[in-house]
Amino acid sequence: MTEKEQFIEQLKKRTKKLAVDVIDLCSTFKNVKASGVVTYQLVKSSTSVGANYRAACRARSKKEFYSKICIVVEEADETEYWLEIIEDARLTSKTEELNRLLAESNEITKIMSKAKDTTYKNK
């Protein structure tokens, strides 16, 4: 396996772990009305990161890859947004895990943004 292929596989695992860890975090939310809405939006965006990254990896052209990677960037950023809402609204007491997920979603957003920008320049 090449270094690039290893990186791709590692990123697939990271995006999947992000989604699973977000789902776990959601089970710690305070039982308030807003928790349901936030949970729905956060789970939707975090699972979309990995799903669309996998789709991007299967793209049949640079244009298709670019289109999918743009969605990944958008969903990763949205995931970070919802995590910030959870932090600001104090919906969980698991602040250490929340901070880890915030850092991870930010790092994934940066990686995917770089891939998007590089693809755009090479189109």
Residue 123 has pLDDT above 80, yes or no: no
Q: How many domains does the chain have?
A: 1
pLDDT band at 14 (very low <50, low <70, confident <90, very high): very high
Q: 49-84 pLDDT, tens per residue? A: 999 999 999 999 999 999 999 999 999 999 999 999
How far CA 122 is from CA of 11, 73, 78, 81, 84, in Å, comes to 21, 18, 26, 30, 34
> What proportion of the chain, given as a percentage, has pLDDT over 90?
94
Mean pLDDT computed over 26-42: 96
Which residues, other chains included, contact 34 with Cβ-Cβ below 8 Å and sequence gap of 6+? Answer: 89, 91
For the record, the structure tokens of 77 come out as 């950023």
How would you class 86 by CB atoms within 10 Å of its CB: exposed for 0-12, middle for 13-18, buried for 19 or more? buried
Q: Which domain holds residue 77?
A: 3-121
pLDDT at 110 over 90: yes
Q: What sign results for the dihedral spanned by CA atoms 106, 64, 46, 10?
A: negative
pTM, full prediction: 0.93
Domain of 101, CATH number, reads 1.20.1440.60
